[in-house]
């Protein structure tokens, strides 16, 4: 099931694929909610979050480094 991932602090914002262009390394950002496919996500049985635009792409941490300020791609 495709879902929006909304900000708890600012409900009018949700996770968005920048520019609606899906490719490796495309930034994920908070953007005003419009319900487009580039804002919809699918939670898989293994816990991955994949894009509704193309389920071959999932949310990841840039460089695999987990620390404050690391970009989500």
CA distance 73 to 69: 12
pTM attached to this predicted model = 0.85
**1-43, pLDDT tens digit by residue?**
999 999 999 989 999 999 999 999 899 999 999 999 999 999 9
CA distance 56 to 49: 10
Cβ distance 41 to 2 under 8 Å?
A: yes
pLDDT (0 to 100) of residue 62: 87
- Domains of the chain: residue spans and CATH: 3-64 (2.80.10.50)
pLDDT band at 70 (very low <50, low <70, confident <90, very high): confident
């Amino acid at each position: 099931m495709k879902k929006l991932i909304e900000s708890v602090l600012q409900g009018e914002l949700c996770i968005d694929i920048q520019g609606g262009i899906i490719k490796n390394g495309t930034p994920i950002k908070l953007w005003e909610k419009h319900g487009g496919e580039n804002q919809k996500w699918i939670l898989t049985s293994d816990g991955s979050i994949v894009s509704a635009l193309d389920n071959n792409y999932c949310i990841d941490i840039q460089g695999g480094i987990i620390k404050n300020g690391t970009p989500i791609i």
